[in-house]
A = this chain, B = another copy of it.
């Protein structure tokens, strides 16, 4: 891997632009080798509605005086902790000296493109990896919720009815993972622990790659439908790229095994939502656990809200109480290399050409 060298930075101004707890700011300051000016003004940040909220309340607004101060500070920033959410101007205009953005999300490729940073020199490091554990925990929450028939138990309990029943076992089932990145590999690891057969789809489906990914069988793009036909559970966790948009179209949805558990923790546009809704209405899907949707927030009139075989997660499956601590670890790691001019050691860096 090439290592970009650059002159050591003398005075760098970093700015926290999304809610972050004081304890993590303190850790950044403690790790800071003294060459950094850190702007942390919680009074100018949208208040967090929950731990690891990065966007804040949508109706919150700065006063005119606060906004003036906010934009003046942004103008000085060379480094951002997170993109300033809700701004319509380009980050390059808001912060002319911008050189690096550490995001609090992993799937920022399309967003970076929309912001016009794709061809800029701004380094974008993501929090890829941080969400692999909580997301794969959500995958198994969904799989076990369905297989142990928890919704049935809840209904029985409500009726004070004691009737023995038979659940199904994950053990021995086949899981198909679309997008074997960090999240997919973590999901594969847990699936093996549960005694499942693990299949995945990747553009390179050589035996070497299958072994590196730790899956039992790796399908290419042309094997997608075959894979879906044989899988008891399907997990969508690929990045949103031009290649994956609409990847699961009507034909792929038709290939789902009847009663499949579908978990989408990728992006809503990866699957044809209308085809998925039609399959749900035809009772072809056992459970669709959805963290992402074509339109977010999910519109009030979407039939997905009321379908008994759907579990709606408001794009929070990746959010965990431990998240900001882990992103802070990444930021501190990258900050050291950035200040030392060792840009090649920063990680994980967004590939702005491939958008992930």
Measuring CB to CB, which residues of chain A are less than 8 angstroms from any residue of chain B?
A: 49-53, 55, 133-134, 137-138, 140-141, 144-145, 147-148, 150, 153-154, 156-157, 160, 162-172, 189-190, 193-195, 296-298, 300, 305, 310-317, 319-323
Contacts and interface: CB of A to CB of B under 8 A. Distances in A.
Contacts of A154: 311
B320 A168 contact: yes
Contact of A314 (B163, B190, B313, B315): B163
11 contacts: A137-B148, A138-B148, A156-B312, A157-B305, A157-B311, A157-B312, A165-B316, A166-B319, A169-B321, A190-B193, A193-B193
A172 B322 contact: yes
A149 B249 CA distance: 31
Given A153-B312, A156-B314, A169-B320, 16 more contacts: A50-B164, A52-B166, A133-B171, A134-B167, A138-B167, A148-B317, A153-B313, A162-B314, A163-B314, A166-B319, A166-B321, A167-B316, A168-B321, A169-B321, A171-B322, A172-B322
Given A169-B134, A193-B190, A320-B169, A49 B144 contact: no
Given A169-B133, A312-B153, A55 B148 contact: no
Contact of A162 (B134, B153, B171, B297): B297
A319 B167 contact: yes
Contacts of A319: 164-167
Contacts of A51: 166
User: How many copies, total?
Assistant: 2
The 10 closest A-B pairs by CB, nearest first: A193-B193, A162-B297, A141-B144, A141-B148, A50-B166, A51-B166, A157-B312, A169-B320, A162-B314, A164-B316
A53 B137 contact: no
A144 B169 CA distance: 16
A323 B168 CA distance: 10
Q: Is the interface of A mostly helix, strand, loop or mixed?
A: loop
Nearest to A170: B137
Contacts of A163: 49, 314
Contacts of A311: 150, 153-154, 157
B316 A166 contact: yes
A164 B55 contact: yes
A186 to B, nearest CB: 10
A289 B256 CA distance: 32
B137 A145 contact: no
A316 B150 CA distance: 12
Contacts of A316: 164-167
A327 to B, nearest CB: 14
A89 B164 CA distance: 25
A235 B303 CA distance: 39
A143 to B, nearest CB: 9
A104 to B, nearest CB: 13
Contacts of A172: 322
A314 B165 contact: yes
B144 A315 contact: no
B166 A320 contact: yes
A169 B322 contact: yes
Nearest to A319: B166
Contacts of A52: 166
Contacts of A150: 141, 145, 150, 311
